[in-house]
Amino acid sequence: MVIYDVRDPYNPREIKRLSIYSSVGYVEVAGHYLYLSGRYETLKGYFCVYDISDPENPVYLSELEIGESSYLTVNGSIAYAASIMVYSIDISDPANPVILDSFPRYSKVHSYCDSTLYLLDTDYGDPSETTWVYILDVSDPTDIKELNRIWLPGGQMTCIAAWKDTFNLFSPTYGHIFLYVLGGIWADYIWDVTDPLKPELVWEGRTYGTEGIYLHSKFTYQSDSLWVYDREIEPDGYYYVGYYKGLRASRGHPLWKAGLVFCGYDYPFYPVRLAIFQFSGDTLASDSDTSNPYINWVRTVYDRPGLEFSLLEKASVSFSLYTALGAKAYQKDLGLLEPGPHIITLPNMRPGVYVLLMKTNDRSFSTNIVFTGGD
């Protein structure tokens, strides 16, 4: 495992290398913890946890043996690890993770959305027998249930992502859940899975995304090459807005952080390298850009949780909260507000540092805020 300092993205600096296991599959970060999945030299899989309160000196906390582990998703206090089975793991105490349940289906890729896990079961061979998406109810992580399954024409598929459209209340697709399934031999697909018992195929074509897919804000980042699509413009299709030529990105899905995109890439005859991109359409304001003619002050309400701010004059206000990894955690349009103090109650937020992006009329600013309570 290699640790880089990327505060200067033009000059990433390697800090150290840690020898851990024979193979690292996927990495997820939530709060002050790093979660890894992979396999030992014996080919048995593992799930392990590191404390990264000091990011330059990770501290090993715990591990579980779970079979040949590959893909990993962390959602709140639950982690899902794909292996010879798919496991739900309680990580509320990161030093003592506990397996809650398992679903007996081999998979390397899955995606979580709205208390549902979409499991891609794919392999080489007869497409009529080998490529399926299993729709699993994980609202109770101690009792994983199969709701439905979708057969995918097109043979071997490699990446999957599910998301819920919450962009425009008046859009006909508002509240719908869409499932991307990419990497097919013949085609790629988008399914409307709002009703998991009646999935509807809404798009079929070629995107050339074969390695990974990452959803951040309103954009979809997709490799093999780094393609960028705007989901707000076309929620149930692909509206192309960016592409980086001459790169074969690989090694899992890209990551977004503070307006930058990080991914591994293959370069002929050389080891895999780290690539850092900036996509101007998805760049947050600088953390230090706190000048705004409408806002007097902003602070965190810890115990509700919530936000408290004061306006110097009447303004239309909206805001978004992003996690430390750049994933959108919450957004709300407050409409036209009068001058003076305002208190906004939020849903339970996982403790940690968030980036607040607030827009007032035609001006915006961002700052870091901290939540100490919540689930």
Does residue 92 share a domain with residue 21? Answer: yes
Q: Is 175 a member of any domain?
A: yes
More confident residue, 255 or 47: 47
Does residue 315 share a domain with residue 269? Answer: no
- In this predicted structure, the answer to whether residue 146 has a pLDDT above a threshold of 90 is yes
CA distance 283 to 273: 23
Q: Is 290 a member of any domain?
A: no
CA distance 21 to 16: 16
Identify the domain boundary among 282, 311, 346.
282
pLDDT at 175: 92
E strand or H helix at 65: strand 59-65
pLDDT above 90 covers a percentage of the chain that reads 23
Does residue 35 share a domain with residue 132? Answer: yes
How buried is residue 368: exposed, middle or buried, by Cβ count under 10 Å (0-12/13-18/19+)?
A: exposed
Strands (E), 92-244: 98-103, 109-113, 116-121, 132-137, 145-151, 159-164, 177-182, 188-192, 200-205, 212-216, 219-223, 226-230, 240-244
Q: Is 161 a member of any domain?
A: yes
Q: How far is CA 13 from the centre of its chain?
A: 25
CA distance 295 to 298: 8
Q: How far is CA 19 from the centre of its chain?
A: 26
Does residue 270 share a domain with residue 330? Answer: no
- In this predicted structure, the answer to whether residue 282 has a pLDDT above a threshold of 50 is no
Q: Is 145 a member of any domain?
A: yes
More confident residue, 1 or 284: 1
Identify the domain boundary among 259, 282, 305.
282
Does residue 146 share a domain with residue 72? Answer: yes
Q: 146 - beta bridge partners? A: 136
Q: How many CB atoms lie within 10 A of CB 336?
A: 9
325 contacts 339 by C-beta, under 8 angstroms: no
Does residue 48 share a domain with residue 194? Answer: yes
Which token pair is 24?
């690292």
Whole-Å CA distances, 3 to 57, 354, 364: 9, 22, 33
Average pLDDT, whole number, for the chain?
80
Cis peptide before 305 (omega within 30 of 0): yes
CA distance 193 to 165: 12
61 contacts 95 by C-beta, under 8 angstroms: yes
121 contacts 129 by C-beta, under 8 angstroms: no
Does residue 135 share a domain with residue 91? Answer: yes
pLDDT above 70 covers a percentage of the chain that reads 78
Q: Give the position of tokens 């991914």.
A: 263
Identify the domain boundary among 247, 282, 317.
282
Listed range (37-41, 142-146, 237-241) with the worst mean pLDDT: 37-41
Does residue 141 share a domain with residue 42? Answer: yes
- In this predicted structure, the answer to whether residue 284 has a pLDDT above a threshold of 90 is no
- In this predicted structure, the answer to whether residue 251 has a pLDDT above a threshold of 70 is no
CA distance 26 to 351: 23
pLDDT at 283: 43
Total tally of structural domains belonging to the chain: 2
Q: Is 330 a member of any domain?
A: yes
Q: Is 242 a member of any domain?
A: yes
More confident residue, 138 or 305: 138
- In this predicted structure, the answer to whether residue 268 has a pLDDT above a threshold of 70 is no
What's the pLDDT tens digit per position in 155-189?
A: 677 788 999 998 888 889 999 999 999 877 778 89
- In this predicted structure, the answer to whether residue 110 has a pLDDT above a threshold of 60 is yes
Q: What CATH number should be reported for the domain holding residue 126?
A: 2.130.10.10
Q: Is 289 a member of any domain?
A: no
Does residue 314 share a domain with residue 179? Answer: no
CA distance 2 to 14: 7
Q: 180 - beta bridge partners? A: 161, 190
Contacts of 105 by beta carbon, 8 Å cutoff, 6+ apart: 85, 86, 119, 121, 134
pLDDT at 374: 44
- In this predicted structure, the answer to whether residue 213 has a pLDDT above a threshold of 50 is yes
Domain carrying residue 257 = 2-282
71 contacts 78 by C-beta, under 8 angstroms: no
Does residue 315 share a domain with residue 179? Answer: no
Contacts of 199 by beta carbon, 8 Å cutoff, 6+ apart: 135, 148, 150, 179, 191, 192, 193
pLDDT at 285: 38
Q: Is 6 a member of any domain?
A: yes
Does residue 301 share a domain with residue 174? Answer: no
pLDDT at 50: 92
Contacts of 361 by beta carbon, 8 Å cutoff, 6+ apart: 294, 315, 316
183: phi > 0 → left, psi -120 to 50 → alpha, else beta; which?
Answer: left
Q: What CATH number should be reported for the domain holding residue 337?
A: 2.60.40.1220
Does residue 278 share a domain with residue 309? Answer: no
CA distance 174 to 374: 28
Confidence class for position 218, pLDDT limits 50, 70, 90: confident
Listed range (4-18, 257-271, 324-338) with the worst mean pLDDT: 257-271
Query: Which of the residue ranges 107-111, 198-202, 260-264 has the most confident prediction, judged by mean pLDDT?
Result: 198-202
The whole model's pTM is what? 0.71
pLDDT at 173: 92
